[in-house]
A = this chain, B = another copy of it.
Amino acid sequence: MLQSIRESLPDLSRAEQRVARWVLDHPRAAAGNTLAVVAAECGTSEPTVIRFCRRVGLSSFRELAIRLTEAMSSPASYAHSNVTPDDSTSDAVTKVLDASIGALVEMRSQLSSLPFDATIDRLVNARQLAFAGIGASGHVARDATHKFFRLGIPCCALTDSATILQFAATTEPGDTLILLSLSGRWPEFVRAARRARDNGAGIIAITDPSSQLAKEADLLLPCRNAEDTNLYTPMSSRLAQLALLDAIQVGLALRMGERASEKLRRSKSILLDDTA
């Protein structure tokens, strides 16, 4: 959160920058005080403070307080440190696991800003779901399909460009396309998103928030790929994607209520019967 404020600093107007600096310097005070006090401390007016909140991607001053508090108390540990060729096996293994834990912890710290409710609204009313992913994201897509059909929802995985485009072309209103791409750079995905949207389908993107794909989506679940820098570090953001989809599936199951839990129960019990 603090980092994202720092990043958007240059885009802010002068009074807003004053607010940003004060918030960065006094995050705890910013979280605890009222709008009026904060505005006074920053030497500006209340609307400016609110405009600042919106500019850095928050919906309200209240949300600023929550996000700031989160940022203050989330552990800075599990820091990302790169694997280097002269690491011992156990060093490397530890670093890999730490990176994975770190990816999840980071995602957890952003939870309150993600549009889970809106996403679940979409899914619960969908005629069918399609999870699209290429390469490593293809595995995530297949995994997601596996998770969601257990709720009794028609769904499929699309794991190559041609299939994705063809599917997008044949969507209709009520269909929901979930696009998984760490980079968000594949032009096919952008085309597919546009086409599906033209057909009235819902578009949910799980991707880099700064990518073109993110802009095309109805709903964006940000999932940044932070690891292109290092050769040995694997795809820990893929774990974050998976965990995110887990969370959505559980949320959806809750929203569906008894209908979903009955399906889940059956899908678990048939395995237990066979293998007990």
What is the interface of chain A, defined by CB distance below 8 A to chain B?
28, 31-32, 62-63, 65-66, 69-70, 72-75, 77, 83, 85, 87, 89-90, 92-98, 100-101, 104-105, 107-109, 111-112, 116-117, 120, 135-136, 139, 142-143, 146-147, 183, 185-187, 228, 231-236, 238-239, 242-243, 246-251, 253-255, 257, 261, 264-265, 268, 271-272, 275-276
Contact = CB atoms under 8 A, between A and B. Distances in A.
A14 to B, nearest CB: 28
Question: Taking the full assembly, how many copies of this chain does it contain?
Answer: 2
A100 B104 contact: yes
A11 B98 CA distance: 35
Contact of A116 (B65, B66, B93, B243): B93
A143 to B, nearest CB: 4
Nearest to A245: B234
A257 B77 CA distance: 27
Contact residues of A: prevailing secondary structure: helix
Contact of A243 (B69, B239, B247): B239
A246 B236 contact: yes
